[in-house]
Chains A and B, each alone.
Chain A
């Protein structure tokens, strides 16, 4: 909502300056978006006199002028044909900003002659396209007079960022009323002159609705023999200042009253209307050609204005018709002052994708009383600017629902707002905002004004009182925490945030990518994708079923920065129709490139399945997951390489996946080297984040000498290392403390379908040092058990 300071002062009698007014506006909830003070922008540009204008020694079309300004005489090189001795122009000094050309003016030499400042054209000042010559100023001005004053562009333009509840402040008058309530001056009265109704209206209003709420009423008036003219300069200036284009007096009047009083109006050229006008619902596909020169096809829930020949003259509350619009030739006009259901106007506007100043106001709700005073306001202005004769006031049946009075407990200001404001002060504020207050002990019986449809209950009244009193007067108190300590994070949120720290601890850097991805890629990964109806773009049209593709996108993007290796992760939701809440939180990581950089000490190896497995297990261990109990399960699908990956479970719960990513996925993502990844299903490990007792139990330092024994077996190829370790440990859980695989060989020197695996056992005697025989017995037991259960044979 935009307005000028002088416009505001039409309604507000105040001596406060611009700053006080704008500060107050923000403080009472009418937040200042901008204040454009052109007198500030143009303050350096003043009237100057050309004392001498001589031909430039080196250029035919240039003149060297000596210019007298309020700050002394300057030499200016000027190319304007009208620059001549004795004239008054507008001088722009050095270092000033020229708004029309967006340049900062510097002292310069033009073909060898110094030029300090310039004489400007209208285009250079940004006030018109005129650039045939420099501005000429009449003799009645003197040197030093301000350009902005002469051209009357010194009125500050204030724009407020209005919240959608305050439809009453979509008018200059409403803003003035709020300011007056806050102590910035006094709201001026409006008195409309009584008019003489000199004839019976040739056009009347009818309503045809099943549901009266759609159009509670419409009023109007017929004007004979008006003269549509160009609007007076003050009116044109105001409309221009707020970004509207002046058209003709009749049209400008409707626009002006829309902004001045928040009352959208329409005037029909009465000679283009056949018979009477009717408000009704449109027939399906009925067409209406509106002022913006578009022929809209209406729906059967849209309000339209039709004449007796069923020609449509407007879409109710949104826009008037083109054919009966006013032109300079218009002689007789008919005025529409209507009320519409906000929801109906909103739906219509959205369906037609048609925005207008009228729609903007109707959908937020306008003063229901304006159906009466709107006619008076328009009548007065039409008579003043266009003359003519006034017909009788006409209207349809009017069914306005009055705002119901309600009780307000004045203690609410204290119990809700926390501040003491006495009842007299509360009453004063409410009355100045237009409420009627009927005192009943410590309660007020309140009737909201007709222009405040946003007020529905006591909380609204508390806000009205406190916002005018001043939110800045709400005192502060010490915020202390004296309550009983509660748990801040539950196990689920703790897992979510803790996992990020643990991933970073293990060398992975966090990224945050969209929850969206490309449907074409998502379909490869999942059958249960969730797509958006209105995506921001086609490559972000589906909720991601996996975070891996988003991480993979980072790879090529960072190549040019010479990042050829990386470990990155994201902790966030993946989406699928079959999940509870349709999402689950997953910690996802990828790693690729050399495993320890290009350093001279580097082991020159690339990250592989086992390095990412090591990272995963380290992270899981940090998250208190019992990694020794994890069960391996083959992964199907298109995300992981089926032969170089595994899923990990604990019981039925899927804990993680890891492995080399599927070559097809990489090809889809345009990645042409191997990438490794893992995913941790955070919800399934949250049970391990319960706070545990920090006491650790006793420490027993077993004093007996530990013994190492190595074994090498030939196994059938399909035997898994995990199984071997588990089997060995099972032989004696107390004594066999650790089993490490130190060699794996499956080359062609071995019998077909065999592989050799060597492991080292670490043996801890329990109550006395081992003797040779005991070690021998244990070794034999291991050899026997492994050979038997895994179909293996010991190697020498």
Chain B
């Protein structure tokens, strides 16, 4: 038997088939055991060797092309079937997904994280101490004698029937005393923590947070103190050429003492730190009073150093534009959602 059909017509027929059944029929018709191509190949046996070879080659090429055509058409039909199914399957993808809720970090913690990051880069270690303190650590060792008016600067909470641990620390400075008693210089620490004063109004809370810094070595001067604080504030507030005032003040535990103000302006009711003609007090500091060093068994003839203290809420309010101090301690979920931070929202040098 001779294969007499036009190859192009065959391929067209294949291409025209619309289902696997039709395609299978065509395959059997041409390539099946009794199909036209095998039959034709069988018929070659009667030809001469030369003809057998050339006809054989020709038929094999046709066979390959038909096989190829069927394979392609099968894929084609599969694709058509998929796309038919796809048309039936469409859904409303604008329906909201169920996103798992992420927790937020309170702005007080975020501020502390920033501070630790900045001072950590300057090799300060973080120290802590208890909230319930002795009168000695909170006042006496820090050169605040019992009847000195400086004690009235700090409205103290007293604890009932608790031996010598009778005050809630009014500042983080008692940790200076603890550290100096337990560590040999050089000392380079910051102390973030809760502090308490019996004062409660729109701008005072009975509990708040401070961060204390202490450096004790043989050579630190007011130049180091001022430079450290300017550098910290510029990094914390992310401003270059911070406008500031570094002016004399008084704290019993430092001598000389200073306070720092930063310049600010209000743009559209938002505070902008670093420039402007108004001043905001931001921290107190000074050289550690030699009396305090001696009170803590550190020889003031050999060692000297500086200390500083800042209010965390204050820094936080200025940096994040929070206007109400009391709101920090009010668990209003809407406020927390607004001012809270994602855990990835870190102020690091690399920005990662």
Contact = CB atoms under 8 A, between A and B. Distances in A.
Interface of A: 26-29, 31, 163-166, 342-343, 346-347, 363-364, 414-419, 456-460, 462-463, 466-467, 471-472, 474-479, 481, 483, 485-490, 492-493, 496-497, 500-501, 503-516, 530-537, 540, 543, 551, 553-554, 557-558, 561, 563, 566-569, 572-573, 575, 577, 581-583, 596-597, 599-602
Most buried by A among B113, B124, B160: B160
A266 B340 CA distance: 59
Most buried by A among B113, B245, B333, B343: B333
Given A29-B249, A466-B222, A504-B342, 7 more contacts: A476-B223, A509-B104, A512-B108, A513-B329, A514-B329, A515-B168, A532-B157
A471 B257 CA distance: 10
A507 B247 contact: no
B343 to A, nearest CB: 5
Contacts of A596: 98, 100
B54 interface: no
Interface in B95-135: 95-98, 100-106, 108-109, 112-113, 116, 120-128, 130-132
B334 A515 contact: no
19 contacts: A164-B149, A417-B223, A418-B223, A459-B256, A460-B255, A471-B247, A476-B223, A476-B230, A481-B122, A486-B123, A486-B125, A490-B126, A504-B105, A510-B106, A513-B329, A535-B157, A536-B199, A558-B333, A561-B333
Contact of A364 (B105, B149, B329): B149
Contacts of A513: 329, 331
A685 B221 CA distance: 40
- Classify the secondary structure of A's interface with B: mixed
A601 B98 contact: yes
A489 B126 contact: yes
Given A509-B337, A512-B106, A343 B206 contact: no
A509 B194 contact: no
A503 B101 CA distance: 12
Given A29-B248, A509-B336, A567-B103, A558 B207 contact: no
A497 B109 contact: yes
A511 B106 contact: yes
B287 A459 contact: yes
Given A471-B258, A507-B101, A510-B109, A534 B223 contact: no
Contact of A497 (B113, B250, B333): B113
Contacts of B121: 481
B319 interface: no
Contacts of B330: 557
B116 A497 contact: yes
Interface string B176-212: 0000000000001000001010111000001100000
Contacts of A507: 100-103
A472 B245 contact: yes
A489 to B, nearest CB: 5
Contacts of A534: 157-158, 198
A509 B333 contact: yes
A341 B340 CA distance: 53
Interface string B209-230: 0000000000101111011101
B255 A512 contact: no
B221 A478 contact: no
Contact of B147 (A343, A492, A537): A343
B97 to A, nearest CB: 7
Contact of B333 (A415, A456, A566): A566
B2 interface: no
Nearest to B337: A509
A56 B27 CA distance: 114
- Classify the secondary structure of B's interface with A: mixed
Given A459-B287, A488-B120, A561-B333, A26 B160 contact: no
A490 B221 CA distance: 28
Nearest to B103: A504
Interface string B269-301: 000000000000000000101110000000000
B122 A419 contact: no
B122 A575 contact: no
B304 interface: yes
B147 A474 contact: no
B28 interface: no
Given A534-B158, A573-B194, A457 B290 contact: yes
A532 B160 contact: yes
Contacts of B75: none
Nearest to B288: A459
Contacts of A514: 206-207, 329
Most buried by A among B97, B255, B340: B255
A363 to B, nearest CB: 6
B8 interface: no
A475 B124 CA distance: 23
Given A343-B147, A481-B122, A510-B106, A416 B246 contact: no
Contacts of B52: none
Given A479-B122, A514-B207, A531-B160, A568 B331 contact: yes
Most buried by A among B96, B106, B198: B106
Interface string B225-256: 01110110000000000000111111000011
A602 B98 contact: yes
B103 A503 contact: yes
Nearest to B161: A531
A500 B153 contact: no
A601 B158 contact: no
B150 interface: yes
A416 B122 contact: no
B48 interface: no
Nearest to A568: B331
Most buried by B among A459, A492, A534: A459
Contacts of A533: 157-160
Given A501-B343, A558-B333, A166 B130 contact: no
B90 interface: no
B314 interface: no
B47 to A, nearest CB: 57
Contact of B149 (A363, A463, A475): A363
B15 interface: no
B132 A575 contact: yes
A263 to B, nearest CB: 19
Contacts of B206: 514, 516, 536, 540
B98 A597 contact: yes
A558 B102 contact: no
Contacts of B264: none
A291 B259 CA distance: 39
B256 A563 contact: no
Contacts of A417: 221-223, 256
Contacts of A165: 250
Given A419-B222, A459-B255, A481-B123, A164 B333 contact: no
B308 interface: no
Contacts of A569: 103
Nearest to B155: A534
B148 interface: yes
Contacts of B84: none
A536 to B, nearest CB: 4
Given A471-B258, A515-B194, A500 B105 contact: yes
Contacts of B131: 515, 543, 573, 575, 583
A462 B289 CA distance: 12
B328 interface: yes
Nearest to A577: B162
A505 B343 contact: yes
A435 to B, nearest CB: 16
Nearest to A569: B103
Contacts of A342: 147
Contact of A557 (B168, B246, B332): B332
A128 B208 CA distance: 43
B250 A163 contact: yes
A490 to B, nearest CB: 7
Contacts of B334: 558, 561, 563
